[in-house]
């Protein structure tokens, strides 16, 4: 029988409380959380001077994703291993429906990508590109089918015309469907049609360098789409979740809605909190392509507003939008034309380090809020709570022993993501994962992955009002 693991003498941090307590794990589940649990025959983990956190949840990743004429560089093996080393024990990745095909094909394809590879537990969102003919009925039925499979959220694009963009009718139908099936619509909110006109004009003027990716996507085009998404959700009587929110203008729209009691939610990402056009795209060289993702980097003044948004709960989640492309042979697809640079950046490994250092150590966020935005809130919003996202009896023993004093320098030379650059090259952070447990199994110690490749399980997530797990 499993004699269990006892994490002793640490400081347990949840979204609600910070307490000195031991944590007893048996059969992959948290059994007890209190001080003074007897050692008995348990395997002892000494967490003196350490924080004991619920494993991180990254609700926005793109592993092994065909995009921009190539495929994101991390697959489920390399991407989830890097995630685990950084203290993330659950991801929710985006399966993507190809136009003219059923969502079930995409779900099967993504299970195949993950099977035998995922090192941590994973859920899937479904990117909806097509609701089919027949007044959209086939596609809407498909959405209900997906919800039964534990795909409790869908992403729609208001950007990327002719590739992924959904028109307002499609978006509105999908929103209405979630009002009844309890799923959540995740919106990529940018006015793709307007942006496309600006982009074509820039190209016609010979503006082909990477910085024009950022300069052709005004923050107002993001704010307008956020406002429109929320308006359509309000009419449909459904909640809505804005992904990778990047600017003050867009945040103002979310705040205005939330102040009126509208169930609008939003995430931001470390790159928008810590990087900027001024700091990262000033070379005016092709190196800037490392920072070509969508929405783009913004002016530095937006950063403080996003941190304020996280503090005030107008932003609920920090996820990475991890979508890595190697600089040497993928980003260079756009060397003569910024529109051909595959959009996306790497970050799955560094989220907790960055938010802990620049959020908690700098005094912008409490430890409890840090845990909430990186684990508890995504678990709740995406139907995984309380199995994931907290340290409490009955929850999966997904636990990070966090050393708040560990110094770490982020670099492509030492990171575990399968990509040849870091967006945070040379950033010095204090605080890092020392040990990581997934369902009670020690999978990471001092930066080394110890688990079996492919040990991660598919998570059937619950819709609002749903019971399946």
Kindly list the residues in this chain that would bind Zn ion in the complex (CB under 5 A).
188, 321, 403, 405
Q: How far is the CB of 66 from ligand URP (least distance, A)?
A: 11
Nearest to 60 by CA among 365, 265, 312, 338: 265
Q: How far apart are the first and last CA of the chain?
A: 26
User: Per CB under 6 A, does 323 bind ligand URP?
Assistant: yes
With H, G, I as helix, E, B as strand and everything else as coil, classify residue 268: strand
**Given the complex with Zn ion, which of 99 and 405 has the nearer CB atom?**
405
User: Per CB under 6 A, does 90 bind ligand URP?
Assistant: no
Residue 138 to residue 131: CA distance in whole angstroms: 7
User: Per CB under 6 A, does 5 bind ligand URP?
Assistant: no
For residue 267, what are the β-bridge partners? 317
**Given the complex with ligand URP, which of 42 and 244 has the nearer CB atom?**
244
**Given the complex with ligand URP, which of 93 and 321 has the nearer CB atom?**
321
Nearest to 157 by CA among 131, 132, 185, 189: 189
User: Per CB under 6 A, does 294 bind ligand URP?
Assistant: yes
Question: Is 241:186 a contact under the CB 8 Å cutoff?
Answer: yes
Question: Do strands 121-127 and 153-157 pair parallel, antiparallel, or not at all (unpaired)?
Answer: parallel
**Given the complex with Zn ion, which of 59 and 183 has the nearer CB atom?**
59
User: Per CB under 6 A, does 344 bind ligand URP?
Assistant: yes
**What one-character DSSP code corresponds to residue 374?**
I
User: Per CB under 6 A, does 293 bind ligand URP?
Assistant: yes
Partner whose footprint covers residue 344, from Zn ion, ligand URP, none (CB < 5 to 8 Å by kind): ligand URP
Q: How far is the CB of 385 from ligand URP (least distance, A)?
A: 24
| The token pair that represents 211 in the structure block | 């910085």
Question: Is 88:348 a contact under the CB 8 Å cutoff?
Answer: yes
Partner whose footprint covers residue 403, from ligand URP, Zn ion, none (CB < 5 to 8 Å by kind): Zn ion
In the block, tokens 């932003």 appear at 315
User: Per CB under 6 A, does 330 bind ligand URP?
Assistant: no
Exposed/middle/buried for residue 39 (C-beta within 10 Å: 0-12, 13-18, 19+): exposed
Among 177, 343, 375, 395, binds ligand URP (CB under 6 A): 343
**Given the complex with ligand URP, which of 242 and 429 has the nearer CB atom?**
242
In the block, tokens 């005030």 appear at 312
User: Per CB under 6 A, does 222 bind ligand URP?
Assistant: no
CA 180 to each of CA 85, 147, 148, 235, 409: distance values in angstroms, whole numbers, following the listed order? 39, 11, 13, 13, 47
CA 35-40-46 angle, to 5 degrees, is 55
User: Per CB under 6 A, does 188 bind ligand URP?
Assistant: yes
Partner whose footprint covers residue 416, from ligand URP, Zn ion, none (CB < 5 to 8 Å by kind): none
Q: How far is the CB of 315 from ligand URP (least distance, A)?
A: 17
CA 330 to each of CA 61, 239, 289, 385: distance values in angstroms, whole numbers, following the listed order? 18, 36, 10, 37
**Given the complex with ligand URP, which of 309 and 345 has the nearer CB atom?**
345
Other CB atoms within 10 A of residue 406 CB: 16
User: Per CB under 6 A, does 62 bind ligand URP?
Assistant: yes
**Given the complex with Zn ion, which of 30 and 183 has the nearer CB atom?**
183
Q: How far is the CB of 65 from ligand URP (least distance, A)?
A: 8
**Given the complex with ligand URP, which of 316 and 435 has the nearer CB atom?**
316
Binding site for ligand URP (CB under 6 A): 62, 188, 244, 293-294, 321, 323, 343-344
């Amino acid at each position: 029988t499993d004699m269990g693991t006892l994490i002793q003498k640490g400081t347990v941090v949840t979204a609600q409380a910070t307490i000195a307590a031991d944590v007893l794990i048996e059969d992959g589940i948290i059994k007890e959380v209190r001080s003074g649990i007897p050692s008995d025959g348990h395997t002892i983990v000494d967490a003196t001077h350490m924080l004991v956190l619920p494993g991180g949840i990254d609700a926005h990743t793109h592993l092994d994703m065909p995009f921009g004429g190539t495929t994101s560089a991390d697959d489920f093996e390399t991407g989830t291993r890097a995630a685990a080393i950084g203290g993330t024990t659950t991801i929710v990745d985006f399966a993507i429906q190809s136009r003219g095909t059923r969502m079930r094909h995409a779900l099967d394809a993504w299970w195949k990508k993950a099977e035998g590879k995922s090192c941590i537990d994973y859920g899937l969102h479904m990117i909806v590109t097509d609701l089919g003919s027949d007044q959209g009925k086939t596609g809407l039925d498909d959405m209900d089918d997906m919800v039964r499979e534990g795909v409790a959220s869908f992403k729609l694009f208001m950007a990327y015309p002719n590739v992924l963009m959904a028109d307002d009718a499609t978006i509105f139908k999908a929103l209405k469907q979630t009002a009844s099936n309890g799923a959540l619509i995740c919106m990529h909110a940018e006015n793709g049609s307007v942006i496309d006109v600006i982009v074509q004009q820039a190209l016609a003027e010979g503006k082909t360098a990477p910085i024009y990716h950022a300069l052709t996507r005004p923050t107002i085009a993001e704010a307008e789409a956020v406002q429109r998404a929320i308006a359509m959700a309000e009419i449909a009587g459904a909640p809505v979740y804005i992904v990778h929110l990047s600017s003050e203008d867009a945040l103002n729209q979310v705040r205005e809605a939330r102040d009126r009691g509208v169930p609008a939610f939003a995430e931001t990402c470390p790159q928008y909190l810590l990087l900027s056009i001024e700091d990262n795209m000033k070379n005016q060289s092709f190196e800037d392509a490392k920072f070509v993702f969508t929405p783009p980097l913004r002016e530095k003044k937006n950063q403080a507003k996003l941190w304020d948004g996280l503090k005030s709960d107008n932003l609920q989640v920090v996820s990475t939008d991890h979508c890595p492309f190697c600089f040497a042979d993928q980003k260079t697809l756009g060397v003569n034309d910024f529109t051909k640079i595959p959009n996306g950046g790497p970050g799955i490994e560094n989220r907790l380090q960055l938010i802990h250092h620049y959020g908690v150590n700098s005094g912008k966020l409490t430890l409890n809020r840090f845990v909430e935005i990186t684990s508890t809130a995504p678990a709740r919003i995406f139907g995984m709570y309380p199995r994931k996202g907290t340290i409490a009896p009955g929850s999966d023993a997904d636990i990070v022993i966090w050393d708040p004093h560990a110094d770490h320098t982020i670099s492509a030379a030492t990171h575990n993501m399968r990509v040849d650059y870091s967006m945070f090259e040379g950033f010095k952070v204090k605080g890092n994962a020392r040990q990581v447990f997934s369902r009670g199994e020690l999978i990471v110690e001092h930066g080394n992955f110890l688990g079996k490749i492919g040990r991660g399980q598919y998570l059937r997530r619950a819709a609002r009002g749903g019971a399946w797990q």
